[in-house]
């Protein structure tokens, strides 16, 4: 006489074909059982616990942990990239620093003198007298407290 088993998912009777290892009557019940377990697992992870005041607080998740080796690897990677950028970027393509801007302001103030009795040109540039060449030049005036 063949032994009858009860399906763990649907509860129906079936005759096992695999010597006691079979818990489900069909592959459909087996996959549906797995899917329902996954759904339940996701719901349990999404549930929140209540604190004393009755407010919902999301469960804390344990994510990746930082290690000293990982921090060291990240710092080394950033250092290598910055060194490569410094070596491979030509001088004219590097961004201006505060020192560069201060030197430019000093150069403009010493070489170019503003002409106050002559108006701006059509593009909004201010007239300056070039001390070295003796010529009139039009430059965009530096911004001072939000005004040109």
* pLDDT class of 79 with cuts at 50, 70, 90: very high
Residue with tokens 């999404």: 46
For the cut 60, the answer to whether the pLDDT of residue 22 exceeds it is: yes
**What are the domain boundaries of the chain?**
5-47, 110-148
> Do 24 and 37 contact (CB within 8 A), yes or no?
no
**pLDDT for residue 3:** 78
| More confident call, 107 vs 125 | 125
Distance of alpha carbon 148 from alpha carbon 141, whole angstroms: 6
Distance of alpha carbon 41 from alpha carbon 21, whole angstroms: 24
Mean pLDDT of the chain: 80
Distance of alpha carbon 9 from alpha carbon 28, whole angstroms: 10
pLDDT tens readout for residues 46-77: 664 444 445 555 556 666 777 888 889 999 99
Distance of alpha carbon 78 from alpha carbon 144, whole angstroms: 37
Distance from the first to the final alpha carbon of the chain: 102
Which range, of 80-84, 103-107, 118-122, averages the lowest pLDDT? 103-107
């Amino acid at each position: 006489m063949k032994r009858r088993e009860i399906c763990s998912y649907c509860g129906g009777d079936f005759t096992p074909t695999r010597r006691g290892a079979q818990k489900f009557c069909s592959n459909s019940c087996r996959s549906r059982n797995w899917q329902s377990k996954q759904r339940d697992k996701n719901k349990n992870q999404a549930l929140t616990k209540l604190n004393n005041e009755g407010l919902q607080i999301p469960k804390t998740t344990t994510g990746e942990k930082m290690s000293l080796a990982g921090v060291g690897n990240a710092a080394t990677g950033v250092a290598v990239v910055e060194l490569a950028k410094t070596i491979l970027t030509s001088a004219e393509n590097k961004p201006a620093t505060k020192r560069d801007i201060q030197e430019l302001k000093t150069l403009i103030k010493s070489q170019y003198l503003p002409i106050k009795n002559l108006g701006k040109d059509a593009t909004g540039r201010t007239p300056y007298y070039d001390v070295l060449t003796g010529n009139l030049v039009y430059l965009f005036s530096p911004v001072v407290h939000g005004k040109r």
